[in-house]
Structure 1
Amino acid sequence: MPTEDDVISLLEGQHTQIKDLLRQVEVAVGEAKQRPFEDLVRLLAVHESAEEQVVHPASRHADVAGEIIDDRLHEEDEAKHVLAELYELGVTDDRFASKFHAFSASVIEHAEMEEKEEFEPLRQSLSPRDRTRLATAVRVAEAVAPTRPHPHAGESATANFVFGPPLALFDRIRDAVRDWRTETDG
């Protein structure tokens, strides 16, 4: 029985959280979109970074077809660019809703393809012990991952190892300042 200690269950649980945040942003109005959008940005950034560093290389090692992994990496890179554009636009921009709607659909499709084409073969090829070890590796990667998309940093495991920690530190300081301002202004 899969648990949060199983990498596939962990990732599928995050996909559920991502889909929930996508819905929250879609239905919220005006400034009420801001908080779920920030939560979504943070979750997507750390999730995708960990997948690029840990999961996709493990999938290649487990003989998941290279073109499947390449397709997922390409989709993730495109999503980073769009997410960065949405972040720059801001939730109250007139263009945000339509751009976000298209982004949301592509993220959901990406997650479903990952679960079907990558996670299922990975589940079948790894022992429960290996899936637990991989879940630990994902959590470690997420702990040092950037909390915002950085599309120009690249989507490879190497790029994430080199650029991820300094970007993560910068992002986390920026998040702390933003959260402090929100608490003191509110």
Structure 2
Amino acid sequence: MPGTIEEQTVEQLGGPSSVLARQRRDHAELDRLMERYRAFADSEERERVLKELAQLVFSHAFAEETVLWPAVRRSVTHGEELTSRVEEEHQQINDLVAGIERLSPGDPEREEKVERVFALIRQDIRDEEDLVLPKLQEALDDAQLRRLGTAWETVRRTAPTHPHAIVPRRPPGNALLGVPLSLYDRMRDGLGPVLPSAMLKRLLTGLTGLLVSVAVAAIVRRRR
């Protein structure tokens, strides 16, 4: 089995458009943002970096769960076990960041949660680069890794950017909710909170039901 992807060249990873190279670039950016957060003393700058970090964390994880981990489960021996471990880390990060968003900057509890999130992100990166992704590299050729990278990037660029307790970790549930949540999150990123959370939950529940009904109807039509 190939070693950790951390130490390989871009060419060994299948080229710059390979999903492995794209993953590693995001991981490096996450590490850079965590270090920048710690380097700033100014609370406003720290909040700006934390917001940028959260946006990358959640769009990156959503692309993994929608595109990458299903490929691992299809292609890799013990893929179910490997991806379940990473999904559990993602859920812990989701819950902690949701808690951070409810607390005021400077609150000691908030800072403690930030440090726990940083530790989980670093553990998640090591699990992916040292355990999961080398197995995928062994199972797929470079052309397959590049195609997977293109799909991964497409999803990442249109993914939600905040934690959402109502989103499942796996398709089709996360994919069904991805579009409306992404639209809401990007409005929120640009304009601040635009809907109360309870109203958002009711809206998304209704929209999910509609999307499921449309998907079922399409399947029925295809079978006729």
**Structure 1 counterpart of 2:24:** 12
* Preserved CA contact (<8 Å) 1:5 1:135: yes
Matched, 1:54 2:67: yes
RMSD: 1.4
Matching of residues 56-75 of structure 1 within 5 Å: 56-65=69-78, 66-75=80-89
Equivalent residue of 1:95, what SS?
A: helix
**Structure 2 counterpart of 1:93:** 107
Distance in 2 between residues matched to 1:86 and 1:4, nearest whole Å: 34
Distance in 2 between residues matched to 1:16 and 1:137, nearest whole Å: 20
Matched, 1:173 2:184: no
Aligned pair in 2 of structure 1 residues 98, 27: CA closer, same or farther (>3 Å)? farther
Equivalent residue of 1:152, what SS?
A: coil
> How many angstroms does 1:78 deviate by?
1.2
1:26 to 18, 34, 38: 38
* Preserved CA contact (<8 Å) 1:153 1:160: yes
1:155 to 169, 172, 183: 169
Bigger share in helix? 1
* Preserved CA contact (<8 Å) 1:77 1:154: no
Distance in 2 between residues matched to 1:64 and 1:159, nearest whole Å: 24
* Preserved CA contact (<8 Å) 1:51 1:138: yes
**Structure 2 counterpart of 1:81:** 95
What is the percent sequence identity of the aligned residues?
A: 25
> How many angstroms does 1:64 deviate by?
4.0
Matched, 1:124 2:148: no
> How many angstroms does 1:52 deviate by?
0.2
Distance in 2 between residues matched to 1:112 and 1:90, nearest whole Å: 30
Distance in 1 between residues matched to 2:24 and 2:165, nearest whole Å: 24
* Preserved CA contact (<8 Å) 1:64 1:122: no
**Structure 2 counterpart of 1:106:** 120
1:44 to 35, 48, 57: 57
2:48 to 17, 25, 35: 35
2:158 counterpart letter in structure 1: V
**Structure 2 counterpart of 1:143:** 157
* Preserved CA contact (<8 Å) 1:90 1:96: yes
> How many angstroms does 1:4 deviate by?
2.5
- Structure 2 length normalisation: TM-score? 0.75
1:45 counterpart letter in structure 2: F
1:11 counterpart letter in structure 2: Q
Distance in 1 between residues matched to 2:109 and 2:35, nearest whole Å: 18
Distance in 2 between residues matched to 1:27 and 1:41, nearest whole Å: 17
Distance in 1 between residues matched to 2:87 and 2:186, nearest whole Å: 24
Gaps of 5+ in 2: 1-10, 193-224
> How many angstroms does 1:141 deviate by?
0.8
Gaps of 5+ in 1: 179-186
